[in-house]
Amino acid sequence: MRKLGGGVETYNIYMDEAPAGSETNGEEGYEVEFRVVPGSSDDGDPETNAVLAGLDLVDLINLRDALQQEIDNYALSALEAEAGDGDDAIEEEELMP
């Protein structure tokens, strides 16, 4: 995506926090939401509020891919751990006389 004037469009990523209500332990929790705003239409203050600023479309795609890879790795680890727990139970049953 290109802006008029030949520059590459950049995007700002904001992290908004809002109180989520009271937790079971009495402490207040927060909900986090991310927003991606094209720099050309951003009416906020990206200098002070942006989590990441000045990313072009390729950077956003790379960020998405890296996050997806970490999510996939976590899910695979959880599945392998669950499968490993099941294998241990089977082996214990086989060893019992």
Residues 44 and 62 placed together within one structural domain of the fold: no
Rounded to two decimals, what is the model's pTM?
A: 0.55
Expressed as residue numbers, the domain containing 60 is: 56-97
| pLDDT tens sequence across 4-34 | 455 788 888 888 887 777 555 666 677 888 8
Question: Across residues 49-69, what is the average pLDDT?
Answer: 84
For 60, residues 6+ apart whose C-beta sits below 8 A from its C-beta are 11, 36
Residues 38 and 79 placed together within one structural domain of the fold: no
Residues 29 and 49 placed together within one structural domain of the fold: yes
Does pLDDT of 86 surpass 60? yes
Does pLDDT of 76 surpass 90? yes
Structure confidence at residue 18 (pLDDT): 78
The answer to whether residues 44 and 88 touch, using CB atoms and an 8 Å cutoff, is no
Residues 40 and 73 placed together within one structural domain of the fold: no
Residues 41 and 71 placed together within one structural domain of the fold: no
Does pLDDT of 92 surpass 80? no
Number of domains making up the chain: 2
Residues 9 and 46 placed together within one structural domain of the fold: yes
